[in-house]
């Protein structure tokens, strides 16, 4: 990691569909770009989804043979193409 990279966990590229639920903006289906032990990055294309840093969201991986657990996550980073979400228990 570079000296300006403050990430605590290494990232692994991973594309998965996730359902994201926000108390104000509602429910969306996004793709992930990467995952780490600390969280995920979701790619937001063309949807109006603009949470504030610190907002809580519920996230559930889609397309598995059994329903995945719903996880509480926090918005910790915003970029031009999406959002970094951190697992709430981190």
Give yes or no for a contact between 53 and 78, defined as CB atoms under 8 angstroms apart.
yes
Residue 36's pLDDT is: 93
- Sequence-distant (6+) residues with CB within 8 A of 47 are 28, 30
The tokens for 13 are 């590229």
**Tens of pLDDT along the chain (90 residues)?**
444 455 566 778 888 999 999 999 999 999 999 999 999 999 998 778 999 999 999 999 999 999 999 999 999 999 999 999 999 875
- Residue 1 forms part of a structural domain: no
Which residue's structure tokens are 């990232």?
A: 11
Note whether residue 83 is domain-resident: yes
The CATH number covering residue 69 comes to 2.40.10.220
Q: How many domains does the chain have?
A: 1
Q: Is residue 76 part of a domain?
A: yes
Residue 59 lies in domain: 12-87
* Domain presence at residue 41: yes
Query: Which residues 6+ apart lie within 8 Å of 24 measured at CB?
Result: 51
């Amino acid at each position: 990691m570079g000296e300006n990279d403050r990430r605590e966990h290494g990232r692994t590229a991973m594309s998965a569909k996730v359902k994201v639920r926000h108390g104000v903006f509602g429910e969306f289906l996004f793709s992930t770009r990467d995952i780490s032990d600390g969280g995920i990055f979701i790619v937001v294309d063309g949807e109006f989804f603009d949470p504030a840093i610190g907002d809580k969201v519920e996230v559930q991986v889609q397309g598995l043979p059994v329903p995945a657990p719903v996880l509480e996550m926090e918005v910790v980073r915003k970029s031009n193409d999406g959002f970094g979400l951190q697992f709430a228990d981190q």
